Amino acid sequence: MIWMRKTALVLHLLRGLLTCALLFPWLGVRSREWHIRRWSLLLLRICGVEVEVVDATGIPSTGAGRQGAMVVSNHISWLDIYVIHSWQPVRFVAKSEIRSWPLVGWLCDKTGTIFIERGRKRDAHRVLHDITDVMLQGDLVGVFPEGTTTDGTTVLPFHANLMQAPISGGLPVQPVGLSYLDKVTGEPTLAPAYIGDLTLLQCLNAVLEAGPITARLVLAPLLQSTTANRRELAEIAREVVVQHIYGARQHVETVTSEMSAAESRGMQQTGV
């Protein structure tokens, strides 16, 4: 069964390459975003991942508006990019090495990824200008300020360098809390975590063997960047992400507990 899903993933990747090569040169921005979102949703479905997008109050939410902003999220898995794309396609910032990866690097390039050469100060300045420019044009730019992946049980400190872009452009920051849950139990699952010495294939196998997974994306209120320096903005954004990951989880646990208690009282009243 798993080999069939892997075959479907390969075919889906090839379909994405053909779409980028043959259709994207002729499509406008909105049409490209439609294809990216649809392709990401199908990739996640093949992997057994269902996306749940809610706002800070737990109400289901749809795509973002057209206002330029920086989307910042905690980072757990290679799936994170596609989970966010399934909500709203954004232009991610990624290390330049990814561009040389076979097939995947080309695909990332064609879907608007902004590449940065880490360790080169001059390139960091160039990327900051590029990010600011595309956000001013109305695009969303996605970054993972932790700089690495975790298992999802904690959120590392956010690096502040790229936070200068929204400050320079007077643009907002959209914090996003991301978590992966076992769809049956509602408990956090470590299956998607791309950490340590795991290879991409090992992580993929863990996802496919885990059973149904819910990827929960919690959209926090926008942060205005004009009232803080980049370090303060990074710290505030991290606090908001942490609050909305674990706060949302606690809210769900509380609601589930209350529902169970109500059902128990109902059974007692009816003599069951």
The number of C-alpha atoms within 13 Å of 144 and in the hemisphere containing its C-beta is: 20
Cβ 17 vs Cβ 106: under 8 Å = yes
Q: Provide the pLDDT for residue 257.
A: 46
Say what the pLDDT of residue 248 is: 54
Report the distance separating Cα 154 and Cα 126, nearest Å.
31
- How do residues 110-156 score in pLDDT, each as one tens digit? 888 998 877 676 777 888 999 999 999 999 999 999 989 999 999 99
In the prediction, which pLDDT does 268 show? 47
Sheet holding 173-182, edge to edge: 49-55, 213-219, 173-182, 69-73, 140-143, 91-95, 114-116
CA pair distance 182, 213, nearest whole angstrom: 5
Residue 16 near residue 103 (C-beta atoms within 8 A): no
Q: Is the pLDDT reported for residue 95 higher than 50? A: yes
The Cα 36–Cα 88 span in angstroms is 9
Structure tokens at 240: 């908001």
SS3 of residue 165 by DSSP = helix
Domain count, the chain: 1
Tell how far CA 87 is from the center of its chain. Answer: 9
| Range(s) of the domain holding residue 24 | 2-269
Helices (H), the chain: 2-18, 29-46, 80-87, 104-110, 121-136, 164-169, 200-209, 230-269
> Domain holding 57: CATH number?
3.40.1130
Q: How do residues 5-55 score in pLDDT, each as one tens digit?
A: 999 999 999 999 999 999 999 999 889 999 999 999 999 999 999 999 988
Q: CA-CA distance, 227 to 126, in Å (whole number)? A: 24
